[in-house]
Amino acid sequence: MAAMIRPRTDNDLPALAKVLVEVHAVDGYPVEGVDDPLAWLDLPNAIGVWTAELGGAPVGHVALTEPGPGDDAARLLTEQSGPEPMAVLGRLFVAPAARGQGLAEQLVNTAMCASAEIQRQLVLDVMVKDRAAFRLYERLGWRTIGEITHQYGANNVEGALALAAPRPREICAH
Domain annotation for the chain: domains and CATH numbers: 3-170 (3.40.630.30)
Taken in order 166, 172, 173, 174, the sign of the CA dihedral is negative
Model's pTM, two decimal places? Answer: 0.93
Residue 167 has pLDDT above 90, yes or no: no
Q: For residue 168, name the pLDDT band (cuts at 50, 70, 90).
A: low
The secondary structure of 22-87 as a DSSP string is HHHHHH--SSS-TTSHHHHH--TTEEEEEEEEETTEEEEEEEEE---TT-HHHHHHHHHH----EE
Predicted confidence (pLDDT) per residue in 81-109, tens digit = 999 999 999 999 999 999 999 999 999 99
Average pLDDT of the chain is: 92
